[in-house]
Amino acid sequence: MRRAFLFHPSDLRKRRLRCQPIIEQLRSFKRETVDGCNVCGGSRAVILASQDRYGFPIRTAMCTCCGLIYLVDRFTAASYGEFYHRGLYRSLVAAFKGHAPCDRPNPGWLEATQVSYARQIGSAFREYFEKLPSNAQVLDIGGGVGLVAQQFVKRYGFSGTVIDPSREVHAAEQLGLRAIVGSVETWDSHEQFDLILLCRTIEHVFDLRSSLQRISGLLKPGGLCFCDIAEFMEVCRRDGPPQAATKIDHCFWLTQESAAPIFHACGFEILSSHVTTGPDQIGYLLAPVAPAPVRPIGEAEMNRQLRTYRECEADWQYSAGIPAGPVDWVRQRAYRVKRRVLQ
């Protein structure tokens, strides 16, 4: 039985056309080619896509050793900084979704979803968070306007800091949080925190290994890190093959199978997991440990994953011959409603 995807090929073509004016602006950004895996250093990889969902001509690969999925062609670190600082990331996402360039999500809905998500995290791991000091310091990396961090401040009495490359982070100051414009990779600070949040952010970091090592160094003894991932396998099963799922702003992707060994190789062990927010999202509560040698995923697991991606591609291409109709419209609407109900 062939899969049904969130994006019909004809729908993706329309979305890519809307993105073209922004893609043209991005063509002038400096780019680089990644010649090896950021985690294990392996040079053997399988190309999964030659363009991203926006239509940007970049390759995405999967390391055949540790299973890390990464952009082969990407912006330089300075270009990514400009990409976020100028708001081009928001404009690109808005164009893909069919919003006006300056549109932002409904403030009330955005606040409700982020508050709900923060509460889910707090409830899932409450026995861990309740053991932290009452005056604990929390750092939210890539925390936007600070809505998630604010919930931890309210619930546990923590002091909150938010760091984000976008200037919108200054809105966090209105919530009583400290706001820093920047990235964890370049932030020059010797501070330490009891809890670090990495919500919907790990895919955006420029150097996965050094970022996780940096986060480990920012934790106090006994400190914790919450990190969630967009589970790449499930994203492809939902949206379409890798070319319909990958993004220029996602330098890395993890899967359920690759997450634990990659975290361990970068100096973290998983204390607990949270899988109830949706099939494409997994949350991990992490504690720092001594880095371990990278554990290969094995040929059988690698072939299983590759087979799944190829089946997604075959089913998606098959659907291209079937005109999009009411069923596709209903599927997209039902998915949006489901997301809102879950959140």
**pLDDT at residue 340 greater than cutoff 90:** no
| CA angle at 281 for the pair 165 and 207, rounded to the nearest 5° | 40
Is the domain 107-228+249-288 a CATH 3.40.50.300 member? no
Q: Between 167 and 306, whose confidence is greater? A: 306
Taking only the tens place, the pLDDT of each residue in 5-53 is 998 999 999 999 999 999 999 999 999 999 999 999 999 999 999 999 9
Please state the rounded mean pLDDT for residues 306-318: 95
The number of residues making up the chain comes to 343
Decide if 253 contacts 72 (C-beta within 8 A).
no
Percent residues over pLDDT 90 in the chain: 82
**pLDDT at residue 328 greater than cutoff 70:** no
Please state the rounded mean pLDDT for residues 312-333: 71
What pLDDT is attached to residue 107? 53
**pLDDT at residue 155 greater than cutoff 70:** yes
DSSP track, 9-20:
HHHHHHHHHHHH
Mean pLDDT of the chain: 91
Residue 71 host element (H or E): strand 69-71
In the block, tokens 């609407």 appear at: 333
- Give the C-alpha separation, 258 to 256, whole Å: 6
- Give the C-alpha separation, 264 to 326, whole Å: 46
What pLDDT is attached to residue 339? 45
What pLDDT is attached to residue 3? 77
Two structure tokens written together for 192: 């330490």
What pLDDT is attached to residue 48? 98
What pLDDT is attached to residue 195? 98
Taking only the tens place, the pLDDT of each residue in 224-251 is 999 999 999 999 999 999 999 999 999 9
**pLDDT at residue 327 greater than cutoff 70:** no
Residue ranges of the alpha helices (H) in 55-180? 77-85, 88-97, 107-124, 126-129, 147-156
Handedness of CA 171, 175, 180, 185 (dihedral sign): negative
**pLDDT at residue 1 greater than cutoff 80:** no
Taking only the tens place, the pLDDT of each residue in 178-205 is 999 999 989 999 999 999 999 999 999 9
CA of 277: how far to CAs of 6, 23, 144, in Å?
18, 32, 20
| CA angle at 109 for the pair 106 and 110, rounded to the nearest 5° | 80
Decide if 51 contacts 23 (C-beta within 8 A).
no
Domain chopping of the chain, boundaries? 9-102+298-342, 107-228+249-288
- Give the C-alpha separation, 100 to 41, whole Å: 41
Residue 342 binned pLDDT confidence (cut-offs 50, 70, 90)? very low
* DSSP for residue 162: E
